[in-house]
């Protein structure tokens, strides 16, 4: 998943007062929830194939890059990952349509040449254009961090999962975005 959008668009997906609220459950109980149920689970991020930061040398499952002041641009990218509880039980997190709630940070001035590298997505290079420098801040959500993920319960075929029944492939519980709400990821501060 990769997207670039105006920062003002972030307000559109934040939970509204009186809107649907996820039910907080234990990670191990996700299997018993019906498909489509809005739930929130906590766990530690596990990822086999992380993505890399564009400005910071870090690897993780999600990166969020803010460019410019005011109604600035946001570039987000994410990969699917797993959440694991203290008993090593896992659920899949399908990153398409996800949003990561991060605190506001002061931007740092970067020379525009940092955005000219081959690994920078073309839409970001175009946003920087011919400016000599640009204010930006990037944060990468790393494996090993404890998070709370709110989303719709679903299941995906997985050789390590439980067999759903006769002639059904093994499945693993998963969390995904719904048509009405994105998957929301929030770091748990301890």
pLDDT along the chain (190 residues), means of 10: 72 57 89 91 95 93 86 88 94 90 86 89 87 91 95 83 70 86 86
Among the listed residues 118, 147, 139, the one whose alpha carbon sits nearest the alpha carbon of residue 47: 147
User: Which residues have CB under 8 Å from 133's CB, separation 6+?
Assistant: 109, 110, 111, 112
Q: How many CB atoms lie within 10 A of CB 3?
A: 15
pLDDT at 117: 87
The answer to whether residues 182 and 22 touch, using CB atoms and an 8 Å cutoff, is no
Pairing between β-strand 51-52 and β-strand 38-46 as defined by DSSP bridges = unpaired
Report the pLDDT value the prediction gives residue 53, as an integer from 0 to 100: 93
Residues 167 and 183: their CA atoms lie apart, in Å, by 31
Tokens of 23: 């039910």
pTM for the predicted model, two decimal places: 0.85
Residue 93: which of 48, 135, 123 has the closest Cα? 48
Residue 18 is predicted with a pLDDT of 58
Instruction: Give residue 8's pLDDT.
Output: 66
The pLDDT of residue 70 is 63
The two structure tokens encoding residue 71: 């109604």
The per-residue pLDDT for 178 is 83
> How many alpha carbons lie under 13 Å from residue 111 in its C-beta half-sphere?
4
Number of C-beta neighbours around residue 22 at 10 A: 20
């Amino acid at each position: 998943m990769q997207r670039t959008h105006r920062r003002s668009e972030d307000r559109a997906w934040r939970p509204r007062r009186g809107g649907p609220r996820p039910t907080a459950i234990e990670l191990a109980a996700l299997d018993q929830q019906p498909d489509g149920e809005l739930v929130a689970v906590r766990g530690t991020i596990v990822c086999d194939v992380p993505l890399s930061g564009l400005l910071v040398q870090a690897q993780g499952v999600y990166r969020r890059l803010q460019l410019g002041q005011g109604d600035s641009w946001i570039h987000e990218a994410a990969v699917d990952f797993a959440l694991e509880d203290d008993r090593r039980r896992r659920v899949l997190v399908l990153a398409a349509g996800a949003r990561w709630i991060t605190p506001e940070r002061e931007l740092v001035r970067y020379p525009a040449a940092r955005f000219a590298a081959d690994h920078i997505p073309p839409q970001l290079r175009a946003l920087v254009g011919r400016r000599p420098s640009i204010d930006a801040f990037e944060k990468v959500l790393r494996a090993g961090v404890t998070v709370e993920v709110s989303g719709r319960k679903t299941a995906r075929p997985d050789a390590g999962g439980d067999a759903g029944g006769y002639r059904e492939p093994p499945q693993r519980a998963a969390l995904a975005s719904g048509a009405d709400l994105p998957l929301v990821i929030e770091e748990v501060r301890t």
